[in-house]
Amino acid sequence: MNIVLFSSLVRYCLAGAFLVLMIATVLAVRRGKGGLGAALGVAAMLSGGALAAEALVALTVRLAAPGAADFNEYRWVMLAPWGRIGLGLGAGAVIGIVALSWRASRGAPAWRRATMIGLRAGAAVGALVVFLQPAVELRQVAREPNRIAILIDDSRSMGLAEAPNGPTRIERTRQLIENSKATLATWEQNHKIDYYTFSETVSPTSPTGLINNTAQGKGTLIRKALETIRSRYEGRDLAGIVLISDGAATGGFVEDSGDGAVRDFLRSLDTRVHTVWAAREGLKDVAVAKVMADEFAFVRTVVRIDAMIRTTGMPARQIPVTLSTDGQPLRQKLVDLPSGDREVKVTFEVTPPRVGRYVYEVSVPVAAGEAVTTNNTRSFVVRVIRDKIRVLQVAGQPGWDVRALRQMLKSNPNVDLISFFILRTQDSISLVPNDEMSLIPFPTRELFEQELPSFDLIILQNFEFLPYGIGDYLENIRSYVDGGGGFAMLGGGASFTSGGYFGTPVAAALPVELYGPFDKGAVLDTAKFAPQLTDAGTMHPVTSLRYSAGDNLATWKALPQLEGVNLIAAAKPEATVLATHPKLKTRNGKPMPVITAMDYGKGRSLAVTTDSVWRWGFVAAARSGDNGRQYTKFWENAMGWLIQDPALHNLHVDSDAVEYTPGQPVRVTVRLVGRDYQPLPGGAVALVVKRGADPNRAEQVATAKVTVGDDGTVVHELGSAVTLTPGVYRVEAKAKIAGRDVEATDIFLVREGGTELDRPTGDPATLESIATTTRGSSLGPIDKLPSDLELDPPRIVRVDRRTDVELWSRPGLLILVIGLLGLEWLLRQRSGYL
């Protein structure tokens, strides 16, 4: 403000105060209120003195600084070295002088008493001015308009609309800016306005730049945005921030402003943040809000999966919640959802059938009018590992083969064996009551219904099911194999056709066809024989007793002969015959299978149609130079193949993580070993990347060919040629080892980064807390910015001219002090108070 104009305003105010106080003093005296009249008289004298001082200042400024009209700011300064201490002492002295004058003039008429006190007070004030040496510092300053930062959220949640045909939040924001043109024009008179958009990062923009903004940001990082804006104006002037958002903060921003760290951060911004809520009430959504499951699980052990289903703005209703894997539903539950904004927990239990990675998905159907459909499903990965191989061995009667297998399994520390031997049937003659026997009843229901899914491998050895009431549970065994379990049937007088398995569900899972009850001919042969490997058996993991094919054949020829075999009708077309009888034929004229393997559903089955494999251990160990180790090797291979042990694979492919975000590099390690499980340097491996939960309908998205190094491994980065969008991915690897095809598969998940759409309704409380803590205004869901928002005024950026005008050194001030003292002395003399 111009100094002359300001001086005139002050003078008018003081003159008005002086007149009002003088009139009030006269009225108080005429009504006999001497005390009040005296006080008002003192106040009138002080205002008169101030008026005179202001007039003196203005006169002094005009006389001493003819160019004062060019200055636009002034301030009072004291040139005396006393500082505040001198000011305090001087003020105390003035008060003391006035008090003594009040006491000395008791008894005088009120108007005269007030006049004397006023004159002495005026003189004391004048003396104080000389003592403090005040001056007026005139300055000509320049001010630059400071900045207003308008911070606009353009994350994905701002692209939502609360009603199917309503505007999105970003469209509502554009309209807000359009409606606020008059307000923005008013702000631009004293400020400059900068526009920014933010999601994961902050970017400059303009009102026209918002026209094509479709709000695709993957996060609402409010704290990071405020930090960035504050740092951009560090050392510069910031009038305030206008934050326009739906309040759905992500990235670890704590909404409760009462939290000490958040409160300190907001206050450290040192500027007001005014907030506008861009969302509205009425959004509808059903979402899988959270899935809680262990990252690791044990194979054939129940896994508990808890899913939180959140409903927003929907009426009460019942919906199905589905748990799926490989694109196929595993479990489904009907859930009652209440109305309003609520969460309901749904629990599933599954039993992973084999080792590896599983991608599960929890989903709910899309409802009419939902604002967000991408949160109706949530996928997650569970790594399934093996603790011990859990084996169930059921033998119809004791025998050398039963004993040998049981002893081998019990000696293996990695095997948890449950074995049952049938020592007597219901028809056995007993001389004592059953309750006095040490034998236990055969736990049919516990084994084949309750505990069956917990086993990795089931071995039926010379076991006839009919006498023990197991016929009703054979379907459970078939279903167990179909679901991924391992199953082996060994020969004997009560196995295969002799055990009555023809036409049963178990026969469906066996790799061989059985003779029926009306087929003619023998079902057993007791002659000794030496099994012969087939071409497939030479290289199959079950029958690979040595590394090389030649050594393996020689080893098999050196094995002791077997004795007795169950005769079967034929091997199933999908089965693999590994070893055959040298003389016997099936009904179709092919060599009689002795060892046959087959994949059934997700599981595997093995048929060994003899009960004399124990001879490879006991008989062989009795020979010179033979330790009988081939028996153990055979069953270790068979168990590993039946339970699909990854350690038996020659080709491995493993990603460096189980979950990724779009754009994140995916590195897979390929490892190739030979038949001796030693690194195979220089091996070529073909990679195929497919996207889709269902492996049968997965879409191929990338291919690559890699060559392993000297250590048999190579690391390949996926996604360099194509961007991996969110979804389930499989990496299929293929290679050849000694003419045999080997394959390996890995699975991983690409998930949309962040939790942007987890709570699409937004959170106005977050914006309100930010505004309150920073002394800003929480404007709520407005359609136009108000023009009266409190903003910091522009600050001085440059002082062009400066001069001091001394008031105390003017002769007029000394004359005024002497005149006031003289008038006071004269009045006292005439009143008789001297």
pLDDT score for 699: 92
Of 321, 423, 335, nearest to 376 by C-alpha is 321
Asked whether the predicted pLDDT for residue 435 surpasses 60, the reply is no
Q: Which CATH architecture has domain 285-385?
A: Sandwich (2.60)
| Phi, psi dihedral angles at 804 (to 5 degrees) | -110, 135
Q: What percent of the chain has pLDDT over 70?
A: 81
For the chain, percent helix, then strand, then coil, each to nearest 5?
A: 35, 30, 35
Q: Report which of residues 359 and 128 the model is more confident about.
A: 359
Tell me whether domains 146-282+761-780 and 649-750 share a fold: no
Fold of 649-750: Immunoglobulin-like (2.60.40)
Q: Which residues contact 471 (CB under 8 A, 6 or more apart)?
A: 465, 504
Fold of 146-282+761-780: Rossmann fold (3.40.50)
Collapsing DSSP states into helix, strand and coil, what is residue 221? coil
pLDDT score for 33: 61
Q: Report which of residues 1 and 337 the model is more confident about.
A: 337
Quick one: 214 exposed, middle or buried, by C-beta within 10 A (0-12, 13-18, 19+)? Answer: exposed
- Give yes or no for a contact between 406 and 394, defined as CB atoms under 8 angstroms apart: no
**Residue ranges covered by each domain of the chain:** 8-140+799-830, 146-282+761-780, 285-385, 389-644, 649-750
Asked whether the predicted pLDDT for residue 268 surpasses 70, the reply is yes
Q: Which residues contact 820 (CB under 8 A, 6 or more apart)?
A: 119, 120, 122, 123, 126
C-alpha dist (Å) from residue 773 to 140, 615, 769, 793: 36, 85, 6, 20
pLDDT score for 586: 94
Tell the residue number behind the tokens 């359609």, with chain if given. 783
Per-residue pLDDT, averaged over 574-600, amounts to 94
- Give yes or no for a contact between 362 and 287, defined as CB atoms under 8 angstroms apart: no
Tell the residue number behind the tokens 């690194």, with chain if given. 679
Per-residue pLDDT, averaged over 543-554, amounts to 86
Tokens of 792: 């910091």
CA 234/CA 270 separation, integer angstroms: 10
Q: Which amino acid is it at 682?
A: G
Asked whether the predicted pLDDT for residue 183 surpasses 60, the reply is yes
- Give yes or no for a contact between 248 and 215, defined as CB atoms under 8 angstroms apart: no
pLDDT score for 136: 76
CA 389/CA 382 separation, integer angstroms: 19
Torsion of CA 357, 358, 359, 365, to 10 degrees: 180
pLDDT grade for 439, boundaries at 50, 70 and 90: very low
CA 436/CA 447 separation, integer angstroms: 24
Q: What is the pLDDT of residues 36-94, one digit of tens each?
A: 655 666 666 666 566 555 555 554 555 455 555 566 666 777 777 877 888 888 888 88
In order, the DSSP letters of 37-80 are: HHHHHHHHHHHHHHHHHHHHHHHHHHHH-GGGGG--EEEEEE-S
Pairing state between β 356-363 and 377-385: antiparallel
Tell the residue number behind the tokens 């479709």, with chain if given. 214
Collapsing DSSP states into helix, strand and coil, what is residue 685? strand
pLDDT score for 745: 92
pLDDT score for 1: 47
Q: Which amino acid is it at 515?
A: Y
Task: Give the least confident one: 53-67, 91-105, 145-159, 316-330.
Answer: 53-67
Tokens of 351: 């039993």
Of 568, 735, 582, 731, nearest to 649 by C-alpha is 735
CA angle 438-439-445, nearest 5°? 140
Q: Report which of residues 285 and 434 the model is more confident about.
A: 285
Angle, helices 222-232 vs 260-268, to 10°: value is 30
Of 215, 39, 156, 22, nearest to 758 by C-alpha is 156
- Give yes or no for a contact between 640 and 648, defined as CB atoms under 8 angstroms apart: yes
- Give yes or no for a contact between 485 and 299, defined as CB atoms under 8 angstroms apart: no
Other C-beta atoms closer than 10 Å to the C-beta of 275 total 27
Per-residue pLDDT, averaged over 443-457, amounts to 84
The H-assigned helical ranges of 717-798 are: 764-773
Torsional sign, CA 778, 784, 786, 791 = positive
Task: Give the least confident one: 351-355, 507-511, 553-557, 573-577.
Answer: 351-355
Of 807, 810, 797, nearest to 139 by C-alpha is 797
Fold of 389-644: Rossmann fold (3.40.50)
Burial 542-581 (b: 16+ CB within 10 A, else e): bbbbbeebeebbebbeebbebebbbbbbbbbeebbbbbbb
pTM of the model: 0.63
CA 569/CA 584 separation, integer angstroms: 11
Q: Which amino acid is it at 705?
A: K
In order, the DSSP letters of 295-332 are: SEEETTS-EEEEEEEEEEEE-SEEEEEEEEETTEEEEE
Per-residue pLDDT, averaged over 179-187, amounts to 94
Q: What is the pLDDT of residues 18-46, one digit of tens each?
A: 566 666 665 665 565 656 655 666 666 66
CA 542/CA 21 separation, integer angstroms: 117
